[in-house]
A and B are shown apart, each in its own frame.
Chain A
Amino acid sequence: MSSVSKTARVATPHAAPQTSVSPTSVSPTSVSPTSVSPTSAAPTAQSHAAAKSKKTGKLHKGPSLWYTAPALIFFGVFALIPLVGVLVLSFTTWDGLGAITFNGIGNWVRMFQDPLVMNAFKLTIILTIVSWAVQTPICILLGTFMAGTQKYRAFLAVFYFLPLLFSSTAVAITWKNLLDPNFGVGKAFGIGWLAHNWLGDPKTALWTVIFVVSWCFIPLHSLLYQGAVRQIPQTMYEAATIDGAGPIRQFFSITLPQLKYTFATDSTLMIVGSLTYFDLVYVMIGGGPGNATRILPLDMYLKGFKSYDMGGASVVGVIILALGIAVSLILNKVSGSDKMESQMEGA
């Protein structure tokens, strides 16, 4: 679909009524010469409009754009400047305290030869893909299950939310103890292999992290699927039942296809989110044993704040940013008109 139609669709309902009341209004379709440049000229155009409307006593359109200034300052200083800043810092040498000196592409060359970065990159990709592949089917099933109106399901759902109330730090500490081979829950059932040192063994550490990440985030994503399943028109199921389709057939022919937009949005959230799992892994095992769980965000933190190599850490930061933006763009393209984008379009 074209961006033109999208803009038109979004703009009309809001712009149209205002155009009808206010002669000074600047609707997207009839841009007046005084307000061509959106960001810089708009406040001026607005103050003109305000002045004019005061003089003529006519209605003016909406508040000054200065209302957005406080939000823009916060967003600019703590989001946009750091976004550029991390790129700039990736070309410098800085220990976190002293002076910052420019060193060209030195960090980049160094980081691309750093086995830790390559290892972190690989681990991040594995963590992202596997946790997405594990969580999504469970979330869809659990979401469909919770969407049912039976009382006991509502009762279970009350408990499903509990992990969402825990901070990542609390979750990490809980599981670290729970999985301890000496006093953890593995001992409770008398099954030998359960008391394995899951987090201490480099072979199982990453998979254990994926398990805990799933425990932590499945409730949230199930909630989103639950909401989506509840929006599927009941008549579709009734029609299918009349046609003789059983529950399994209905799940695959109605529920799953109807969830495709939620699937696209939710997958984006899950994947971009998993690029930044830091708290959980850091508190639970700190990237170890060895470097078995040293994913990119952890590598960034350890390089910057433990080895005082802010330049190298910034390179890793830029890699994370690039990955995140690439994933968002690709998933947006693949899913076509997903919900997120339509929400992003309308102002």
Chain B
Amino acid sequence: MIRIKNKQYNVVGGFLGWFWFALIVIPIYYIVVTSLRDQSEIYSQNPLSLPKHFTFAAYGRVFANDFLLYIGNTLFVTIVTVALILLVTVMAAYAITRRADAGARAIYKVIITGLAIPMQATIIPVYYLIIQMGLYDTLWAIILPSVGFAIPITVMILCNFLRDIPQSLFEAMEVDGATEWKIMWRLAIPMIKPAIITVSIYDALQVWNGFLFPLILTQSSSNRVITLSLWAFQGQFTVDIPGILAAVVVSVIPILTAYIIGRKQMVAGLTAGFSK
């Protein structure tokens, strides 16, 4: 059924729709086309024209700057963080929804409070803790706080989905004598698999694109993640505009690939926590 009001002329929406399209596409076109330009063309040519001589030299300079190592670091941080988040939050959400008693509700409330608080305002004590733990300038310094910060939203989403599992299924497994651990693995986790995929994507994006923790909690270039290397690169090669924009393109490609492969899941992951 087609929406009636949209069948008619939606002039404002249509104008805004195409305008916004241009506003998205032009910047993306600009970074791609500029990254393929020769440095000497930057000032002389129209910024939106196709380059006279296509060159991938800028990409060569990016990879010569250890970008593969930075992508590897980011992959490691993202995978370990998401794995840890899933492990601890699935267990917590399972216990909270299965029990639904005063204790479980109190725990849920404490965790959920984190949603209303701008957590980034607490980076200074986080910095202090990481130093005290001896983790400063390691990839674990990014991983552990990222897990902590992701817990409220992840627990909330998982709980929302776990609540929809019919009680009778749990009871049936209990009657069969299954332990809670087994019920969690055999029943709860398979039933909420879509939710687990959604939160994984959401949390992975947050970590992959995170900047503040790496900036504050790491230092040496061997522990650099992709966002930080992007920032460092543009600080170091200020005049190499094609190089800087090539670095931007390289940093987006892994996520763009994921978007092309699983657009539906990705969109669900992007809006996770706001709509079920």
Contact = CB atoms under 8 A, between A and B. Distances in A.
B-side interface size class: 35 or more
Nearest to A269: B274
A148 B14 CA distance: 11
A245 B70 CA distance: 57
A170 B216 contact: no
A11 B1 CA distance: 38
Interface stretch (B27-35, B50-58, B59-67, B192-200): B27-35
Contact of B122 (A83, A147, A156): A83
Interface residues of A, number: 130
A291 interface: no
Contacts, number: 380
A344 B46 contact: no
A141 B99 CA distance: 43
B270 A77 contact: no
B273 to A, nearest CB: 9
A59 B171 contact: yes
Contacts of B5: 237, 241, 247, 250-251, 255
Contacts of A86: 121-122, 124-125
Contacts of A161: 259, 263, 266-267, 270
B107 interface: yes
A166 interface: yes
A82 B270 contact: no
A153 B121 contact: no
Contacts of A323: 118
B96 A167 contact: no
Given A18-B167, A62-B95, A174-B27, A278 B120 contact: yes
Given A82-B129, A149-B2, A185-B30, A14 B94 contact: no
B125 A89 contact: yes
Contact of A149 (B3, B25, B97, B123): B3
A296 to B, nearest CB: 8
Given A38-B106, A86-B121, A310-B124, A63 B184 contact: yes
Interface string A11-28: 100110110010001111
B189 interface: no
6 contacts: A61-B101, A63-B98, A142-B16, A146-B17, A187-B47, A275-B121
